Amino acid sequence: MLKIKKSDKEQMKKLTLLSTGIALALLSFRFADATWSLDKSHAKLGFSVSHMMVSDVEGSFKKFDATIKSTKDDFSDATMELTAETNSINTENDQRDAHVKNADFLDVEKFPTLTFKSTSVKKVADRKYKVRGNLTLHGVTKPVELDATANTGVNPMNKKTIAGFKVSGTIKRSDFGIGAKVPSAVVGDEVTLSANAEFVKN
């Protein structure tokens, strides 16, 4: 019967531990979250709402940030977070902006930010996703579902991997207690959300 020296056993144990450590390190590197940062120079967070039931008023938030984390290149396991400053709302009319910012609507002094945090990102077709998450607006948090389309590529200038997302969805302002005294015949209850943003892989 072949006998293994004690020193050989210790050497084998060390090699086993070393190989296990290397394997775990490689796995953690492979499955580590890749973080995608917002390119604010190529991003817009907008909305539209009907006015007097005959036209739409469009607006946007000028100050916002967002991040995406994913271990998969197709974003099927992604998590998304967004924060916007409500005081940065812009509808291209100073008087209307002042009204929207006051307590009749967004009450930006009391609720200075809105946030969105995804709870699931489901790939439904090539480059198409259903994004579910919690939207916190006007001090109220509600689940929402958004449609998203993603495109990826490489920036030829800096060789960095980039991704573009177009996102849309609809919420009701009444669900968030916004403009409770304003009838929907004047300002529509349904608000269409839209975002078009470019992200850079870190």
Q: What local confidence, expressed as pLDDT, does residue 24 receive?
A: 45
What is the domain partition of the chain in residue ranges?
1-32, 33-201
Mean pLDDT of 45-74: 97
pTM of the model: 0.83
- Architecture per CATH, domain 33-201, reads as Beta Barrel (2.40)
Measured over the CA atoms of residue 175, residue 177, residue 181 and residue 186, the dihedral's sign is negative
Asked if pLDDT for residue 105 goes beyond 60, the answer is yes
Instruction: Name the phi and psi angles at 166, rounded to 5.
Output: -110, 125
Q: What local confidence, expressed as pLDDT, does residue 32 receive?
A: 52
What pLDDT, in 10s, does the model give residues 169-180? 999 999 999 999
Q: What local confidence, expressed as pLDDT, does residue 174 receive?
A: 98
Q: What local confidence, expressed as pLDDT, does residue 30 receive?
A: 40
Residue 154, both tokens: 């490489």
DSSP string covering 114-132: EEEEEEEEEEEETTEEEEE
Mean pLDDT taken over the chain: 90
Asked if pLDDT for residue 115 goes beyond 70, the answer is yes
DSSP state of 173: G
Mean pLDDT of 71-80: 94
